[in-house]
């Protein structure tokens, strides 16, 4: 995706935005699969493999998104990156618990999914709106987070 960012026409027609939204859907789907696997009693080995996939994908997505924000001159990229770091930390804690066989009360996949949804609503939607020109409401929401 990083190479695609350099092609202005892809940004202008919304292709970059659509790709980011598709990546968000992939993260949501992977966390949903984790929840279903946990409910069906999958082994810690299988659950750890799912968590590894989620972590790998999130790390790549977050790096790409942050680079795109930097390249676009988005002023609040560091605040956004801090929330990415928080999400990755929560995912790593969950992965450690799962790989240790603590799959019952220590983790709830829906909590991870809700954390991701909160991030998208609190950070991504505002950032993308601002990069498209934004509204006063977007700027007020961002100011309230600081």
Q: How far apart are CA 129 and CA 76, in angstroms?
A: 13
Q: How far apart are CA 48 and CA 53, in angstroms?
A: 9
pLDDT averaged over 10-residue windows placed end to end, the chain, 146 residues: 52 69 93 92 94 96 91 89 96 92 72 91 85 56 48
| DSSP-assigned letter for residue 106 | S
Q: How far apart are CA 52 and CA 43, in angstroms?
A: 14
CB 30 within 8 A of CB 57: yes
pLDDT of residue 19: 82
pTM for the whole structure: 0.79
pLDDT of residue 142: 46
pLDDT of residue 61: 94
pLDDT of residue 102: 84
Pick the CATH number of 2-145 from 1.10.3720.10, 1.20.120.50, 3.10.110.10, 1.10.260.40: 1.20.120.50
pLDDT of residue 104: 65
In angstroms, what CA-CA distances link 42 with 24, 56, 99, 107? Answer: 24, 20, 12, 14
Closest CA to 27 of 64, 68, 67, 57: 57
pLDDT of residue 33: 94
Torsions phi, psi of 33, nearest 5? -60, -40
């Amino acid at each position: 995706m990083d190479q695609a960012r350099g092609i202005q026409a892809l940004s202008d027609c919304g292709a970059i935005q659509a790709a980011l939204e598709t990546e968000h859907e992939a993260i949501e789907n992977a966390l949903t699969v984790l929840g279903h696997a946990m409910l069906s009693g999958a082994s810690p080995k299988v659950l750890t493999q799912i968590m590894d996939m989620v972590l790998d994908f999130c790390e790549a997505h977050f790096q790409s998104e942050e680079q795109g924000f930097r390249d676009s001159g988005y002023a609040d990229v560091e605040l956004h990156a801090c929330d990415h770091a928080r999400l990755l930390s929560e995912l790593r804690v969950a992965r450690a618990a799962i790989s240790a066989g603590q799959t019952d009360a220590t983790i709830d996949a829906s909590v991870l999914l809700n954390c991701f949804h909160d991030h998208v609503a609190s950070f991504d939607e505002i950032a993308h709106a601002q990069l498209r020109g934004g509204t006063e409401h977007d700027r007020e929401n961002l100011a309230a987070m600081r």
